[in-house]
Amino acid sequence: MRKKIYVIGHRNPDTDSVVSAAAYARLKQLQGQEHCAAARAGKINRQTEYIFERFGMPLPQFLPDLIPKAEHYVSDAPLTVNEDDSLWNALELLQKDDSKVLPIVDKNGMYKSMFHYRSFAQYIITNISPRKKSAFSLSLDHLAVTIHAQPITLFSGNEIRKSPIVVAASNSAHFRKNIQAEGVENALVIVGDRADIHKYCIELGVRALILSNGNTLSKELVDLAEKNKVTVLISPFDTSSTAMLIIYSVTVGKLGDASVPVCKMQDTVRSFRQALSKAPSRHMLPLPQFRPVYYHQYQPPQEIRVLAVAGSPCGDYPRAAAHAFQRQRNQEIAHSGRGFKLGPFPQEYPGRGSGKRSGYRGGSHGHP
Helices 87-97 and 117-127 cross at an angle (nearest 10°) of: 150
Residue 149 zone, left/alpha/beta (φ > 0; ψ -120 to 50; rest): beta
State how far the Cα of 127 lies from the Cα of 300, in Å rounded to an integer. 34
207 strand-pairing partners: none
DSSP state of 76: S
Asked if 189 and 206 touch (Cβ cutoff 8 Å), the reply is: yes
Distances (CA, A) of 19 to 36, 77, 307: 15, 32, 14
pLDDT at site 68 = 80
Nearest to 161, CA basis, from 206, 118, 126, 131: 206
Question: Could you give phi then psi for residue 226, rounded to 5 degrees?
Answer: -60, -40
Q: Give the pLDDT score at 358.
A: 38
The predicted pLDDT at position 288 comes to 60
CA distances from 224 to 152, 189, 221 (A): 12, 16, 5
User: How far apart, in whole angstroms, are the C-alpha atoms of residue 123 and residue 111?
Assistant: 20
Kindly list the structural domains of the chain, giving each domain's residue range(s) and its CATH number in brackets, ordered by start.
4-68+301-354 (3.90.1640.10), 77-133+249-298 (3.10.580.10), 140-240 (3.40.1390.20)
Strand ranges in the chain using DSSP code E only, listed in sequence order: 4-11, 36-41, 61-62, 81-82, 101-105, 111-116, 135-138, 150-153, 161-167, 188-191, 208-211, 231-234, 262-264, 285-287, 304-308, 332-335, 348-349, 353-354
Single-letter amino acid, residue 317: Y
> Splitting the chain (368 residues) into consecutive groups of 10 residues, what average pLDDT does each group show?
81 92 93 92 92 93 83 73 89 82 85 86 76 82 92 93 88 83 85 92 94 93 95 94 89 86 80 79 63 39 49 43 43 41 37 38 36
For residue 94, what pLDDT is reported? 84
What pLDDT is stored for residue 360 in this prediction? 34
